[in-house]
């Protein structure tokens, strides 16, 4: 029984994370990684998060694919391919904890600034480069600290997208990103049988949460959706920072 109680935060983490993912198309890592670190070491939590999130993200993307903004998705993903290898190098050779503290602080500050903005106007030519840059930063964070969401979701939240297009594009992006990240981690022997087994045990809780999120999505207004995104990022950044420091 004590062993079960110690492991209990893990299914709770993926359940809550999948609910958020089902509503917004993102956010799994924002909740799951800090809570999974209560049970597992940092590297295991990062890989476990990627495995479970990829499975639920793939299913969600197929269900909401009609809303994907394809040009935006392509530019973000192309950018991520530049950041992923650099993040993986940091993950394998440096102290992830210190980087996580820095990223948490920067994320909170950036989200606070964007909270007061409705949209960010970017011309078409510059927009392509900005989208590549945002994708690169997201890719780096994905393989280094396991939290790829903040750059992309804060950017998408200020592109005047409907909540349906936001969720579909974000979900498709993270599906592609996690597929590449997991492939590289597997090739570098960052994924082992024990982690895969734990991921399989957590998947039923993740799919339950994802379906609950899909049920709740129509009940969230566009206005509340827009303002909830930076608030969720701020709250998770604070939680991530505190759990890393304490």
Residues 45-61 have pLDDT tens digits of: 878 888 998 999 999 99
Average pLDDT on 116-132 reads: 67
Q: Residue 123: is its pLDDT beyond 70?
A: no
Q: Is the dihedral of CA 199, 37, 21, 23 positive or negative?
A: positive
Q: What is the pLDDT of residue 32?
A: 83
Q: What is the pLDDT of residue 1?
A: 37
Q: Greater confidence, 108 or 188?
A: 108
Q: Report d(CA 74, CA 14) in Å as an integer.
A: 28
Closest CA to 27 of 166, 201, 181: 166
Q: Greater confidence, 122 or 16?
A: 16
Structurally, how many domains does the chain consist of? 1
Mean pLDDT taken over the chain: 83
User: If pLDDT is split at 50, 70 and 90, which confidence band does 118 have?
Assistant: low
**Under 8 Å between Cβ of 58 and 175:** yes
Tokens 């566009």 appear where?
A: 222
**Under 8 Å between Cβ of 194 and 68:** no
Side-chain-side CA neighbours of 41 within 13 Å: the count stands at 6
Q: Render pLDDT for 166-216 as a digit per residue (tens, 0 to 9).
A: 999 999 998 998 898 788 878 877 788 888 999 999 999 999 999 999 998
Q: Residue 4: is its pLDDT beyond 60?
A: no
Lowest mean pLDDT among 58-72, 127-141, 230-244: 230-244
**Both tokens assigned to 243:** 């759990």
Q: What is the DSSP letter of 24?
A: H
Lowest mean pLDDT among 15-24, 46-55, 93-102, 157-166: 93-102
Q: What is the pLDDT of residue 2?
A: 43
The pLDDT > 90 percentage for the chain reads: 29
pTM of structure: 0.79
Q: What is the pLDDT of residue 18?
A: 92
**Under 8 Å between Cβ of 107 and 229:** no
- Full domain range(s) for residue 32: 2-245
């Amino acid at each position: 029984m004590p062993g079960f109680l110690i492991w209990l935060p893990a299914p709770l983490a993926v359940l809550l994370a999948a609910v958020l993912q089902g509503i917004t198309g993102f956010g799994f890592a924002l909740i799951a990684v800090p809570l999974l670190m209560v049970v597992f070491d940092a590297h295991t939590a990062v890989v476990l998060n990627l495995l479970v999130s990829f499975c639920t993200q793939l299913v969600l993307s197929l269900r909401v694919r009609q809303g994907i903004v394809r040009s935006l998705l392509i530019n973000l993903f192309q950018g991520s391919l530049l950041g992923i290898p650099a993040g993986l190098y940091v993950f394998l050779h440096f102290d992830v904890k210190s980087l996580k503290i820095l990223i948490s602080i920067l994320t909170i500050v950036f989200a606070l600034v964007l909270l007061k903005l409705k949209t960010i106007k970017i011309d078409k030519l510059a927009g392509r480069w900005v989208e590549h840059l945002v994708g690169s930063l997201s890719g780096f964070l994905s393989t280094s600290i396991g939290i790829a969401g903040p750059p992309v979701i804060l950017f998408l939240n200020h592109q005047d997208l409907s909540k349906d297009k936001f969720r579909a594009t974000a979900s498709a992006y993270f599906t592609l990103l996690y597929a590449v990240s997991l492939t590289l981690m597997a090739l570098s022997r960052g994924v082992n049988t024990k982690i895969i087994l734990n991921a399989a045990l957590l998947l039923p809780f993740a799919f339950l949460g994802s379906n609950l999120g899909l049920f709740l999505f129509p009940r969230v207004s566009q206005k509340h959706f827009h303002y909830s995104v930076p608030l969720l990022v701020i709250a998770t950044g604070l939680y991530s920072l505190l759990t890393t420091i304490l």
